[in-house]
Amino acid sequence: MNLQRKLKLGLLALALVLVASAVPANAQQLYRATFTLPFEAQWGSTVIEPGQYTITVEDALGQKLIRVNGAGEQLAMFAGISNSEPYGDNGKLVFVNVNGLYTLKAFSAAAIGQAFIFPVHKSRGERAQQQVTTVGLGTN
């Protein structure tokens, strides 16, 4: 019985990997912009170095997929919470300083009228400093 359960979990994991690998082939790019990150920053569970980056938003099987490429980094994440916002020319990234490490809090893709909100993880008992930094995006 334990072997059957392991087999089922293994097959489920394999199916998820196959679905995830098929997503990039079917994704339609909705937004593309470039930016210069002047500091080390945390994006989800990944810390990226300062440098030149390209950010894209893709529609993949009904979900928004955000990709960040540059400075030797390649990141892809499904967007969680998003809000509608007024359409505009330029987007922006909003970072909050958590114990000296800038952490992505929000991404505004004004050209498509979407803002994406990211959770800011803190250790128990810690509070995010009120220092908020915004990085402007240039459209391609």
What pLDDT score does 80 carry?
78
What contacts 135, CB < 8 A, 6 or more positions away? Answer: 35, 36, 37, 38, 92, 93, 95
Residue 36 buriedness (CB in 10 A; 0-12 / 13-18 / 19+): middle
User: Using CA atoms in the order 28, 30, 34, 37, what is the torsion angle rounded to 10 degrees?
Assistant: -90
What pLDDT score does 130 carry?
57
Read off the pLDDT of residues 3-27 as tens digits, 9 standing for 90 and up. Answer: 777 666 666 555 555 555 544 556 7
Read off the pLDDT of residues 24-63 as tens digits, 9 standing for 90 and up. Answer: 556 789 999 999 999 999 988 889 999 999 999 998 878 8
- The residue among 66 and 130 whose pLDDT is bigger is 66
Q: Which two three-digit tokens encode residue 132?
A: 């908020």
Read off the pLDDT of residues 82-135 as tens digits, 9 standing for 90 and up. Answer: 878 888 878 999 999 888 889 999 999 988 999 999 888 765 555 544 577 778
**Amino acid, single-letter form, for residue 12:** L
What pLDDT score does 34 carry?
92
User: What are the helix (H) ranges across the chain?
Assistant: 2-26
